[in-house]
């Protein structure tokens, strides 16, 4: 799972920010795979490259939610660069799932290269136009589908059942699945809500209808201090 944290690919503030929706979608898809006892990881590039290598189990799920809880849409590295420069990680029988609002054709080219190598790809495409931003998401979805890529186009107002509850007791940054792109606070220290113990069955049913993967493992990610070169 690659969550695009490039600031140029997100708009909005507070609860209405596109990043809130993107992180919620990412957490929900990750949970789906964990519930299926499938290996899944997470890759993000905000202020630094953050990678959680694919694994299974509830503890692994908790680690991914903790990373999502502090994710911020402050990145300067486009998702195309991440896909090209990290492509060696992915081989046949893996799936790269990208959550992004980018309409840059360069990352579509990176996806094409991966699929030609036998990597399966799926995209949760955030439609920035529905948030009052740039257009192009629908056209990008059409182009990706022509490559055989599974695309789920997500617009503002689409029903994404909540997977969050209140602030974690004890204060501090929450361990949750939504974020504020402008660092506005939802709690004492700018944290966000913690994920509910059980995800919405409705959300899982919706996600289960999407062919996110093609094999035993879903992809991708880990935790490195060094940025992508």
Which CATH number do you get for residue 88?
Answer: 3.40.50.410
- Does residue 44 form part of some domain? yes
Q: How high is the pLDDT of residue 7? A: 92
Q: How high is the pLDDT of residue 56? A: 94
pTM over 0.75? The answer is no
Please, which residues have CB within 8 angstroms of residue 169's CB and are 6 or more apart in sequence? Answer: none
pLDDT at 30 over 80: yes
Percent of the chain predicted with pLDDT > 70:
69
Whole-number Å distance between alpha carbons of 147 and 77:
24
Q: How high is the pLDDT of residue 161? A: 47
Q: What is the pLDDT of residues 55-96, one digit of tens each?
A: 999 999 999 999 998 888 998 899 999 999 888 888 888 889
pLDDT at 191 over 90: no
Instruction: Give the domain extent around 174.
Output: 2-208
Cβ burial 180-217 (10 Å sphere, 16+ → b, else e):
bbeeeebbeebbbbbbeeebeeebbebbeeeebbbeeb
Q: How high is the pLDDT of residue 174? A: 27
Please, which residues have CB within 8 angstroms of residue 157's CB and are 6 or more apart in sequence? Answer: 130
Whole-number Å distance between alpha carbons of 15 and 160:
13
Two structure tokens written together for 158:
């689409």
Q: How high is the pLDDT of residue 160? A: 62
- Does residue 149 form part of some domain? yes
Q: What is the pLDDT of residues 154-169, one digit of tens each?
A: 889 876 643 222 222 2
Domain count, the chain: 1
Q: What is the pLDDT of residues 90-125, one digit of tens each?
A: 888 888 999 999 999 999 999 999 999 999 999 999
pLDDT at 188 over 50: no
Q: How high is the pLDDT of residue 220? A: 44
Q: How high is the pLDDT of residue 193? A: 52
- Does residue 225 form part of some domain? no
Q: How high is the pLDDT of residue 71? A: 86
Q: What is the pLDDT of residues 210-228, one digit of tens each?
A: 444 434 444 443 333 333 3
Whole-number Å distance between alpha carbons of 28 and 137:
21
Whole-number Å distance between alpha carbons of 125 and 90:
21
Give the CA angle between residues 161, 206, 157 to the nearest 5°: 45
pLDDT at 126 over 60: yes
CB 95 within 8 A of CB 119: yes
- Does residue 103 form part of some domain? yes
């Amino acid at each position: 799972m690659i969550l695009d944290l490039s600031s140029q690919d997100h708009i909005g503030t507070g609860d209405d920010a596109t990043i809130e929706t993107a992180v919620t979608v990412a957490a929900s898809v990750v949970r789906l795979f964990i519930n299926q006892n499938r290996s899944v990881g997470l890759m993000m590039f905000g202020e630094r490259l953050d990678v959680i290598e694919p694994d299974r189990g509830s503890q692994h799920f908790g680690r991914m939610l903790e990373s999502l809880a502090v994710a911020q849409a402050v990145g300067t590295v486009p998702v195309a660069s991440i896909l090209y420069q990290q492509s060696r990680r992915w081989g046949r029988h893996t799936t790269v799932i990208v959550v992004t609002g980018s309409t840059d054709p360069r990352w579509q080219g990176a996806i094409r290269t991966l699929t030609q190598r036998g990597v399966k790809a799926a995209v949760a495409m955030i439609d920035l136009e529905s948030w009052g931003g740039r257009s192009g998401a629908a056209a990008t979805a059409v182009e990706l589908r022509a490559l055989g890529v599974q695309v789920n186009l997500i617009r503002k107002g689409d029903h994404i059942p909540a997977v969050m509850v209140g602030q974690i007791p004890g204060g501090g940054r929450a361990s949750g699945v939504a974020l504020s792109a402008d660092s506005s606070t939802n709690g004492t220290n700018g944290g966000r809500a913690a994920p509910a113990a059980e995800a919405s069955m409705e959300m899982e049913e919706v996600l289960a209808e999407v062919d996110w993967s093609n094999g035993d493992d879903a992809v991708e990610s880990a935790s490195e201090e060094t940025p992508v070169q």
